[in-house]
Structure 1
Amino acid sequence: MFTRHLSSRRKVLMLSMLSALIVALLCGGMQFFYSYHKRDVKYDNLISDLRVYMESYFEELQTSIDKLQPLTLSECKDVKSELTSRASFSLNVRAFLLVKDKMAFCSSATGPMHVPLNELVPDIDVNKAVDMALLPGTPMMPEKPAIVLWHRNQLIKDGGVFTSINLNLTPYLLYTARQDEFAGIALIIGNTAFSTHSTRLIHIKDLDDRPLRSSQIKGLPLTINLYGDIWSAEDLIFALLFGLLCGSSIGLLCFFWLMMRANPRKEILTGIKQNQFHVVYQPVVDSKDLQMRGVEVLMRWQHPGAGAIPPDAFINFAEAQQLIVPLTLHLFDLIRRDAPALAKRLPPGSKLGINISPGHLHADSFKDDMRQFAASLPPDHFQIVLEITERDMLNQREATRLFEWLHLEGFEIAVDDFGTGHSALIYLEHFTMDYLKIDRGFVSAIGMETITSPVLDAVLTLARRLNMVTVAEGVETAEQAKWLRDHGVNLLQGYWISRPLILEQFLSWKPDIHLDSE
């Protein structure tokens, strides 16, 4: 953020860009491989689920078929009703056929028949204990493909049970349930396949792509192929965006950190000499009539290379570099320059709130600095209020004497951001304060179901007992302002009233705020 020379600025910029590029590539690559691995795991789980589903289905079917094997020893007229009943209660089964001497003699669908099995299904080998084939259709449903399954009866020569199974349900049922994760599946028996990409049987050489996963069904000549994309365009785009986000964030952080290390002391002093700092004024109004009672003076830094620098950043650096005194004196100079114009806009007795750091408060020159500053302002016009953050660490004995001296000199003291630090009650116990500025965190919680409201009530009660004027910071809505007014808060400050304004804006500012009279 702080720059020393043009060459160092270029080095910082180049190093930040290089860091951003490396992090972008690293994070984008990691995100891409994570998506790739996640998709890989999905495919593994999916092919496993498909295999388990198919094996479970055929195991249950095997149980039904085993119960039908003894029927091959009977006449069709004696077992027709049982055969039909079994088929009705077997999922996806079109028909059971009883076979004896290679002749299909009984069907659960049509009853008695006398057809050689090799005429029905030439691809079935009755000599095998179990065999399968894919058919483009069956006599009852010629247009719809089916799986045919043969189970030989070990007790009868060339006999057994022949089963036709609907193909239109099994793959599509699985496919539609999770179709967003893959492109399709195919069931393969021998050289024939039935794919979700086609409504008819095809030769395996006509399958479009190499499958991502393939699994063999246990105990059956049936293979399941799973098709999909190794990676998707969405994965690539997300990885690119993630990489850009991480890279840009790291690049900015790296730039910020390197510029901070460049030479903050010199940058602050240069900023003071080159008038890079300016002040803004945030109006403070009375909660009852909403008339302006003063302003809080805030310092801003517009750096020529780094742009607007947050106050917390340069104030912390100024304190760390022991430059808070010259920075505060520069603030006094800026206020002194604007004071004649401010006196025309603000009525006599208006509050002029100024933040004071402990580093300046305990400095040897503090009393002289305050006297000179007060003397440089229009006489008897402004009431200077020194705002000290409750989180700041003060030397108790010395601060007590300083606060007494400030009161004797006509200055007033406010405890700022009350309630955000660990020493809130200690401050009020040991130091005499005139104003208590309620932290914006309490104000923002007004109207919400939180524990903040009881705490805020307690703070306001404490302030009344100590005869302190209360100022609410961060008022952003009329609802908050009304609540604060109704609960006895004296002064209001925040964006609902006005943002901090440069002098020209402040001089022409006209408040446009009002509250219900109820």
Structure 2
Amino acid sequence: MRAANIFERYLTTPRKMIMTSIMVGVVLAMTTSALYALWLHHKREQGYDILAQGIQRYVRDYFNDLEAVADTLQPLTQAGCNHVSADLTSRAAFNINVRAFLLVNNGTAYCSSATGSMSEPMAKLAPAIDTHQKVDLEIMPGTPMMPGKPTIAIWYQNPANAQRGIFTTLNVNLAPYLLFTSRHRDAASVALVIGDKAISTASPGVHSVASLVSSPLRIATLPDYPIKLFIYGRTWSREDIALSALSGILSGALGGCLCGYLLYVRQRSGKEILQGIRRNQFYIVWQPVVESKNLTMTGAEVLMRWEHPTAGAIPPDAFINFAEAQQLIVPLTRHLFKLIAKEAPLLMDILPQGAKLGVNIAPGHLHSPEFKEDIRQFAASLPDGHFQVVFEITERDMIKEKEAVSLFAWLHQQGFEIAVDDFGTGHSALIYLERFTMDYLKIDRGFVNAIGTETVTSPVLDAVITLARRLNMTTVAEGVETWEQTKWLRDRGVNYLQGFFFSRPVRVAQLIDWQRQRSGK
């Protein structure tokens, strides 16, 4: 499995990012659609409120003006029709939508602006009108002169004489109400309701209130008049629902894409590694290296670990190889140097002078322009003259031959030693030994695990040990886990041993305790 795939397994994978982005997009789409729909509904409700107030204001002003005219006509009720008929007719002519003004005395209409003198009981003209009220209204299907054309009849009692008053009939002009409803795209109709009768912009004629199909969205009333205004319309429109759905889809798509992008940027491996360095998520462990003859610790290999806050412990092979692929091995190795410099002084009491410190170097750092300066700073940060640093180069990694030869020579000049790590696991084992000057050969654990088994690996291990001896290279066996393996390696002259049989890689405090227990201090 590629390092990138291993790394992604421990951090957020593309599939997880896609699923998260989809979920965020869906939630955002639903939330946006709901909020936008609620906002449109709120705006629509506000529109109905404004519409109701506008119609209410129009009707109130009209009736107030009509009442003011009726007040000027009230003195005429004290005189006979032949004396006031001409004045009554002219007043009616100059009032919009007024069919006729009638003068009433003792429940009888005796003078009309349309016909002159008359004598008609109010109970017959407008049965629903109560002349004992100061103001009363009735919707009538028509009048004797204009049958079949609905009218609104209004009674105004004379404030000086309760037996007298003004009765007027109005043409029903619904044009202003249609104009009002046209301002609100969802308003369907307006109905004027008086008692149990109504006239509506939805259909001609007089209707019973019970016949009105649905409940009105708004009901407006006039304080001084027994009239109600019913406003009908849609609370939810298809256009608003479609617009809300479209806005939700757009915001969900944009939000999902943005979430995916942010997750990609945030979870991008390179950024995770840099964040891990800044937040001190990396730490080091030490694995003892013992001298095979007396099994005493003469050094240790330093290994880096990463405890990610959400992914947990990430294997070194994953993040180191991935750091190389992301060209972040240099800052990662520099951080390793700092961690070693911080803890190395703590080991001076348990490791003798000249003790070996094995430090892994990746080709990406070896061939970087900053390599020599980084090595100088690292050497200067360690206790002066106490440790012998051994840089370990993994044989599986490809290095540039010409540059490596000069760099290895420079490292030797600076007093460092070089080991070829995991020898025998790559494709260029013999080439490494032939072309580069190495001080140590670290035998891979795969060979050590074969000890005591009848496999083709055992003879190869014998050949590796013999080859190292002829090249005057010091040998270190990795992955030693049993006494049988220890004895076999000692018998064949392997110089140093390293593995779980002695100790797992541990933190510096544990290593100090381990060594003190072994030495009896």
How does the TM-score come out when normalised to structure 1? 0.50
How does the TM-score come out when normalised to structure 2? 0.50
